[in-house]
Amino acid sequence: MRKLATPRTIPDSPIYFSIDVPGKGEHWFRLPRPSMVYRLISPMVEAGIWDMGDGQDIDTASAMLTEEAVGAAVGVCWRHSAQELEAQRSHYSRDAEGLLDYGAAVLEELYEEGYSQDDLTPIISALGTRLISSTLPSPQEVGDRVGFTAPGTALAT
């Protein structure tokens, strides 16, 4: 991690948000475009991290995949005002495997910088919530879709 010579200006925009990391201060992040959000959350969905209600444990391979996907999400969204990650997305292949390799490098860099699991927990929680909620349709879109189908007749029901 390197210190920025000039602190980054954070725009007043709904795609930027901050997370307070106890002991490490305010950290800024930027939501990426929707297609990148999908690429970031897909490995977590495929690993089954959000589908654990059946009493099954997540296997080791899925846990590693999820961890790397979380690292990629942190790296892609990172906009700290004073610190820049040395791991750069452009140094990895553009495919899904490259994205996960990038995520592993981001987590390794944060670990080397002294970020513990306790430090990463608020980041992961808030960032995951923001990524998922950014993919949900707006109330207007839901209303439009609900009203799209013509009502049935009494005979049809």
DSSP-assigned letter for residue 52: -
**C-alpha–C-alpha distance, residues 70 and 123, integer Å:** 10
Report pLDDT digits (tens) over 79-88: 999 999 999 9
Q: What is the pLDDT of residue 147?
A: 58
Q: What is the pLDDT of residue 52?
A: 44
Give the chain's residues under pLDDT 50: 50, 52
Q: What is the pLDDT of residue 40?
A: 86
Coil, helix or strand for 25? Answer: strand
Q: What is the pLDDT of residue 85?
A: 97
Contacts 24+ apart (CB under 8 A), 130-133: 130/17, 130/29, 130/31, 131/31, 131/37, 131/40, 131/41, 131/73, 131/77, 132/41
Rounded to two decimals, the pTM is: 0.77
Q: What is the pLDDT of residue 63?
A: 57
Q: What is the pLDDT of residue 74?
A: 95
